[in-house]
């Protein structure tokens, strides 16, 4: 999904802020070449990450770095809980 599609799905996010996320290295969308230009192609996972980060930034007035760290830490914690749950189900 290109930047325009992301902006339609994330209320209040600007193109400049989205571009900042990419240039600062917080996001790494695939690059798609059309004619002589390259475009960012954001995955569904990228969009979900952006939504959650933008919620922290806009609702709680958190900085960009802190918002990305918080959302990624929550994702790791959730994955760990899912892994532990799966292991306990397999051992019974």
Say yes or no to pLDDT of 82 above 90.
no
Mean pLDDT of 63-90: 78
Output the six-digit token pair for 62: 């958190």
Of 19, 7, 11, 14, the closest CA to residue 55 belongs to 11
Q: What is the pLDDT of residues 40-49, one digit of tens each?
A: 999 999 999 9
Q: Domain count for the chain, please give it.
A: 1
Q: Whole domain around residue 9: which residue ranges?
A: 3-91
- Report the CATH number that the domain containing residue 8 is assigned in CATH: 1.10.1660
Residue 73 has pLDDT above 70, yes or no: yes
| The pLDDT value given to residue 79 | 66
**Whole-number Å distance between alpha carbons of 4 and 1:** 8
pLDDT tens digit sequence for 22-72:
999 999 999 999 999 999 999 999 999 999 999 999 999 999 999 999 998
């Amino acid at each position: 999904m290109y930047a325009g599609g992301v902006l339609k799905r994330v209320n209040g996010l600007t193109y400049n802020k989205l571009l900042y996320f990419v240039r600062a290295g917080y996001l790494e969308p695939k690059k798609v070449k059309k004619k002589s230009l390259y475009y960012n192609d954001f995955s569904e996972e990228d969009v979900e990450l952006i939504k959650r980060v933008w919620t922290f930034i806009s609702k709680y007035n958190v900085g960009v770095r802190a918002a990305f760290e918080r959302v990624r830490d929550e994702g790791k914690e959730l994955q760990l809980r899912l892994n532990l749950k799966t292991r306990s189900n397999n051992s019974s």
